[in-house]
A = this chain, B = another copy of it.
Amino acid sequence: MDDIDYSLLKQMAVTIGEAAKITDIPIRKLRYWEDKGYIKSVEEQAHTTRRFDYYMVKKIVLMKELIEDGYTVEAASQKVEVRMGELRQVFDNLTRK
């Protein structure tokens, strides 16, 4: 199996519509979650529209599972952050270059 190019993966950020399709969460709800700070889109001055990278889409998927299991949005967000610790660090390090 070819190794995944993490630097490239980091750049593969999808639109909110795409993220909504992938995660099966309404666009409107994703915007709300972002307003509340539970998720965040890629920050780039060049972008006038939102983009979500692999890490964030994965986070949304995991949050959804926890929420369906009874967790609040807030709690789900925190739990997922902890659980995804390693991947988050990889993505964070890639940003600082």
Contacts and interface: CB of A to CB of B under 8 A. Distances in A.
Contacts of A87: 1-2
- How many copies of this chain? 2
23 contacts: A1-B90, A2-B86, A4-B4, A4-B9, A4-B54, A5-B58, A8-B54, A8-B57, A8-B58, A8-B61, A9-B54, A11-B21, A11-B22, A12-B12, A12-B14, A12-B18, A12-B22, A12-B54, A12-B57, A13-B14, A14-B18, A15-B15, A18-B51
Interface of A: 1-2, 4-5, 8-9, 11-15, 18, 21-22, 46, 51, 54, 57-58, 61, 84, 86-87, 90
Given A5-B58, A8-B22, 10 more contacts: A1-B87, A1-B90, A4-B4, A4-B54, A8-B57, A9-B54, A11-B22, A12-B18, A14-B18, A18-B51
